[in-house]
Chains A and B, each alone.
Chain A
Amino acid sequence: DAKTTQPPSMDCAEGRAANLPCNHSTISGNEYVYWYRQIHSQGPQYIIHGLKNNETNEMASLIITEDRKSSTLILPHATLRDTAVYYCIVRVDPNTGNQFYFGTGTSLTVIP
């Protein structure tokens, strides 16, 4: 039931910006876009979320296109510790449920 499409893997040089794309062409008007990441076998870690506007926090920036059909997660200065699987999630209407559908994510490898 995943509503997002992500490339299966990406590489990024250490210190450079990592730009992770996500397509969510069927997103509804009130659905948020969430990004989580999972390092090794740890539990998923929240990164950022947004609805319409671009968002930035201490971890990353989220750029959402005007039509909301796609978004990009930006890690401005990737480090080796950012190597992880990154999940883009469109949140189901919370009035009918709070399921997060993770999909298979993008495996990001930061290269020294």
Chain B
Amino acid sequence: GAGVSQSPRYKVTKRGQDVALRCDPISGHVSLYWYRQALGQGPEFLTYFNYEAQQDKSGLPNDRFSAERPEGSISTLTIQRTEQRDSAMYRCASSLRTSGSWGETQYFGPGTRLLVL
């Protein structure tokens, strides 16, 4: 594909519901990253994958957040029992080479705006 795609673009859910956010990286990109962005703030790192392996999940706020990338391509960020404070823009990025490469560039998707009522 031409760029990183994310779906849905907008998600409104009720507190306590689970949500799944999808990221489709640029074809051939081996690394995938998830960020969260609050209004007026820069993106905040959540987690990343090299191929299907989750390398670092230290940025996930708590155990309600999880991510997977089972086949090394599409990734899903899942938030269980959503809370109002989870409302934010969730952004995905991908890079061509693994994150172990110096000078590697990340390309960002348009994001999913999540609103928890």
Contact = CB atoms under 8 A, between A and B. Distances in A.
Given A94-B100, A98-B31, A99-B56, A45 B44 contact: no
B84 interface: no
What does DSSP make chain A's interface, helix, strand, loop or mixed?
Answer: loop
Nearest to B56: A97
Contact of B99 (A42, A85, A94): A94
Nearest to A102: B42
Interface size class of A (residues with CB under 8 A): 20 to 34
B103 A43 contact: no
14 contacts: A2-B42, A42-B110, A43-B91, A43-B110, A44-B43, A46-B107, A94-B100, A97-B56, A97-B58, A100-B33, A100-B45, A102-B44, A104-B41, A104-B42
* Nearest 8 A/B pairs, CB to CB: A102-B42, A98-B99, A43-B108, A99-B45, A44-B108, A97-B56, A102-B43, A46-B105
Interface of A: 2, 30, 32, 34, 38, 41-46, 49, 51, 85, 87, 94-95, 97-105
